Each structure stands twice: as C-alpha cells, then as structure tokens.
Amino acid sequence: MEVNNRTKKVTRCGMLIGIAIILQYIEISIPIMPSFIKLDFSDLPELIGAFAYGPFTGVLIALIKNIIHMAVSQSGFVGELSNFLLGATFAAVAGYVFQKNPTKSGILKASALGAVAMALISWPINYWIIYPLYYNVLGFPEVAILQMYQLLIPSIKSIGQALLIFNVPFTLIKGILNGVIMILIYNRIQFIFHEK
C-alpha cells in the first residue's frame, strides 16, 4: 500500500511538473509593466504540490520546472533563477501554512501569506541578485533597464525605486491570482489533499 501511494505521488508530481512547464510558456504581457516582465501561471502547480504533499514538494517542482526551462531560455539562467527563488518562496510559505489548516479556507490564508512573502522577498532578490546578473553576466546596462521603467513613469530615479513601484506589487498580484485559481479549482482536486 505504501509503495502504491509513493508511486501515485511521484506520478502526480511528474504531471504537475509537466503542467508547470507548459504554463511557463504561456506568458501574458502587461501594458503597465516593462516589456521584459510577463505574467504566467506556472507557480500554480507548485502551489498544488505544496498543498498536497508539503512545502518541499512545491519547491522541488519549482526547481525541476526551471532546470528544464533553461534549455530554451532567452535569459540565460537569470530568468529561471528569479522564477525559482520567488516560486520556491511562494510554495514553501503557502505549503507550510496550509499544513496547519488543510481546508478550503486554509488555502485562502496560505496563498495570501505565500503571496506576501514572495512579494516582500522579490525586492532584495531582484536588487542584489537578479538585476546585477543582468548587468554583469548578460551585459544589459543598468541604465538601459532603468529607461524601460522610465518609459512608464519618467520620474523614477533608480532601479530600487522601480522594483518597489512595479515588481513588488506585480509579484503580490501574481501570487494572489494563483491563490484565487486554487480556490476555484479546489473542489475538483481536493481529493489529493486528503489521501492517506
């Protein structure tokens, strides 16, 4: 019985990774964001995995998804690193909170706290890790990236300010949207959250 459950878990996690990879290709441009920032819902399978099998599983799905996506990446490894660090934070926090209250109402709280954590950590991750990699490894000048933000709000003076105005709210909304979708699909997939 234990082997059967383990096989079922591995199979379902493989399916979630496959879905996450597909969703990562479906990117939506947001007119009020710089053109290099796009919305996708590839964090949703990570969230499902974290709720069904625990925070570590959600983080693992995020890792494997991004390793596979690196093969076709247009951002080297930098975009995937950002996606992993933020998605892993979201899945880990939400999965941990959901374990304390594994109910439909718990999904709302877990998703909201995961989204807040992801948004808060997005500023230091982008400012000190991701954007310096764009400047120093991929050769995108800081001034050129800043100008892309200034096309939208000319008064922006620095990357730090741009991240606070654009990236942090965007990341929060992205997390909340994933949580809303989880609530909408919960009744169809809740059986995997309660299997023994």
pLDDT tens, 53-86? Answer: 999 999 999 999 999 999 888 777 999 999 999 9
pLDDT tens, residue by residue, 163-176: 999 999 999 999 99
Residue 36 pLDDT > 60: yes
Please list, in sequence order, all residues whose beta carbon lies within 8 angstroms of the beta carbon of residue 32, skipping any fewer than 6 positions away: 152
Q: What residues are paired with 39 via a beta bridge?
A: 28
Q: Answer yes or no: pTM beyond 0.85.
A: yes
Phi, psi at residue 173, to the nearest 5°? -65, -40
Residue 1 pLDDT > 60: no
Phi, psi at residue 28, to the nearest 5°? -115, 125
